[in-house]
Structure 1
Amino acid sequence: MSDIAETVPDSKCARLLGRILSGLVIVFLLFDGAIKLVPWPVVTETMDKMGYGSNESLARSLGVITVVCTVLYSIPPTSILGAILVTGYLGGAIASHVRIGSPLFSHTLFGLYLGLMLWGGLWLRDRNLRSLLPFRR
């Protein structure tokens, strides 16, 4: 059996797709972190609806965590650490949406969609990750 990591993903097209997926995730997470740093009223209102209260200090703390983890993900030498940290953050978001009974496909699973894009983009653009997590045919 040959690894797909050895045959397909080292192409320029795969790397470009990986960069696009990663770029979309980075832009979204930086925006998400930035609106929490301000924090916009929609942030504190949403936090209150989710049971965390409309605490601006907590919103800013979450914004800092989001931005720092995203920056770690965007820098190639620390991208795997950043991906692990962002995955944990997204898991907390999923758990929060499950707890309050948010709609499944639009809200609750959004963190899963973002996580798949995050890891998929990283897998396509990072040869070391492909060798660590090979897919077999």
Structure 2
Amino acid sequence: MTDPISSESVPAKGPLIAGRILSGLVILFLLFDAGLKLVSPETAIRYSPPGLGWPLDVSTMTLLGTLLLIPTLLYIWPRTAILGAILITAYLGGAVATHVRIHSPLFSHILFGVYLGVMLWGGLWLRDPRVRALIPLSKGAIQ
């Protein structure tokens, strides 16, 4: 039996660097967002869009910050990056649903979580052979 994740599936230097940059941008944004909610929840409350339907209080911001920080830390560590990506995707799905519910603008608000999710998974796909084995994008791999 052959290993589906062999040395042949290790990304070339270019895609690996691109994946790390893409993942790094997502990580920086998520750490900033979670950190703001945890360190200065009052500031997060002040700049939250009105009418989201969430209670705008310190305990809610702290909870949301924690629920984002933990999967982001899992995403940073290569051994748990896939689990982190799954949990962040769930968090982003909640953000998308919240904006759909209040009829936010499509391209700037509703789809922002989708953009972030595509960058999250794209960066992981470029740098992790396990993800490329699960999601083959080349024609030769899909048979």
Alpha-carbon distance, 1:41 to partner:
3.5
Q: 2:66 & 2:49 partners in 1: Cα distance? A: 16
Partner of 2:67: 65
Matched, 1:82 2:84: yes
Q: Is the 8 A contact 2:9 2:129 kept in 1?
A: no
Partner of 1:132: 134
| Superposed displacement of residue 42, structure 1 | 4.4
Alignment coverage as a number of residue pairs: 132
Which 4+ residue blocks in structure 1 deviate beyond 6 angstroms? 6-9
**Percentage of identical aligned residues:** 52
The letter for the 2-side match of 1:75 is: W
Higher helix share: 1
- What TM-score does the superposition give when structure 1 sets the normalisation length? 0.89
Structure 1 unaligned spans of 5+? 1-5
SS where residue 97 of structure 2 aligns? Answer: helix
RMSD: 1.9
Q: Is the 8 A contact 1:97 1:108 kept in 2?
A: yes
What stretches of structure 2 of length at least 5 have no aligned partner? 1-6
1:38-94 deviation digits (Å, cap 9, x = unpaired): 334342242653111212101001101111110000100000000000000000000
